[in-house]
Amino acid sequence: MGPFRVTVSRGSVVEAVHRVHAVAVQDGRIVDAAGDPQLVTFYRSSSKPIQALPLARERPDVTDVELAIACASHRATEAQVAAAASLLAKAPATEDDLECGPQEGRGPSRLAHNCSGKHAGFLAVCRARGWPLDGYRLPDHPLQQLLLDEVAGAAELRRDQIATAVDGCGVLTFALTLERMAHSFARLARLDGGERIAAAMTAHPELIGYEHGANDTELMRARPGWIAKGGAEGLICAGSPDGLGIALKVEDGAMRGLRPALAKLVGLPEEWGTVAIENSRGEQVGEVALA
| pLDDT score recorded for residue 204 | 97
Say yes or no to pLDDT of 136 above 90.
yes
Residue 60: DSSP 8-state: T
Say yes or no to pLDDT of 50 above 90.
yes
The DSSP annotation for 100-132 comes to T---TTS-S-GGGSTTHHHHHHHHHHHHHHT--
Phi, psi of 127 (to 5 degrees): -60, -45
| pLDDT score recorded for residue 213 | 85
Residue 133: DSSP 8-state: S
| pLDDT score recorded for residue 211 | 78
Rounded Cα distance, 30 and 32, in Å = 6
Question: What does the longest C-alpha to C-alpha distance in the chain come to?
Answer: 61
β-strand partners of 175: 42, 163
Rounded Cα distance, 105 and 234, in Å = 21
Helix axes 116-129, 78-90, angle to 10 degrees: 10
Q: What is the mean pLDDT of residues 134-139?
A: 98
115 HSE (CA, 13 A, CB side) = 29
pTM of the model: 0.97
Percent of the chain with pLDDT over 90: 98
- 68 Cβ contact list (under 8 Å, min separation 6): 83, 117, 200, 201, 203, 204, 207, 208
| pLDDT score recorded for residue 210 | 87
Return the H-helix or E-strand segment holding 166: strand 163-166
CATH of 4-290, picked from 3.40.1000, 3.40.710, 1.10.220, 2.60.40, is: 3.40.710
Mean per-residue pLDDT of the chain: 97
Sequence spans of domains, the chain: 4-290
| pLDDT score recorded for residue 94 | 98
* Four-point Cα dihedral 214, 125, 168, 246, nearest 10: -40
pLDDT digits (tens, 9 = 90+) for 6-38: 999 999 999 999 999 999 999 999 999 999 999
Residue 171: DSSP 8-state: S
Instruction: Give CA angle at 96 (170, 104), nearest 5°.
Output: 50
pLDDT digits (tens, 9 = 90+) for 72-119: 999 999 999 999 999 999 999 999 999 999 999 999 999 999 999 999
Say yes or no to pLDDT of 1 above 90.
no
| pLDDT score recorded for residue 132 | 98
- 72 Cβ contact list (under 8 Å, min separation 6): 48, 80, 114, 117, 118, 207, 208, 209
Rounded Cα distance, 117 and 109, in Å = 13
pLDDT digits (tens, 9 = 90+) for 139-192: 999 999 999 999 999 999 999 999 999 999 999 999 999 999 999 999 999 999
